[in-house]
């Protein structure tokens, strides 16, 4: 099987990152041999990233989202109140 193009691999990484974030998965999930076998059995063309690369991609996604929120708040003409409920 031929490997995916860089664009296709990036699109699949985005979906994987979203799953990790939404389901609060550990970055080390990519080191789990059974998880690797599972992914490979479903789609052998997908190449899992290392946990460090996964971490870097998630941090980059966070920084992008943070910038978007800051820009939105700066452009807002109304007041904003932030509250935190911590236990």
- Residue-level pLDDT at 4: 83
Residue 19's pLDDT band, with cuts at 50, 70 and 90, is very high
pLDDT at residue 87 tops 80:
no
- How many Å is the Cα radius of gyration of the chain? 17
pTM: 0.75
Taking the CB of residue 16, how many other CB atoms lie within 10 A of it?
Answer: 19
| Overall average pLDDT of the 59-66 stretch | 95
Q: What is the pLDDT of residues 65-79, one digit of tens each?
A: 999 999 988 888 888
């Amino acid at each position: 099987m031929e490997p995916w193009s860089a664009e296709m691999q990036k699109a699949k990484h985005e979906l994987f990152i979203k799953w990790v974030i939404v389901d609060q998965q550990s970055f080390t999930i990519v080191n789990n041999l059974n998880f690797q076998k599972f992914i490979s059995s479903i789609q052998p063309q997908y190449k899992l990233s290392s946990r460090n690369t996964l971490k870097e991609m998630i941090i980059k996604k966070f920084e992008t989202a943070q910038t978007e929120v800051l820009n939105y708040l700066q452009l807002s003409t109304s007041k904003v109140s932030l509250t935190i409920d911590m236990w």
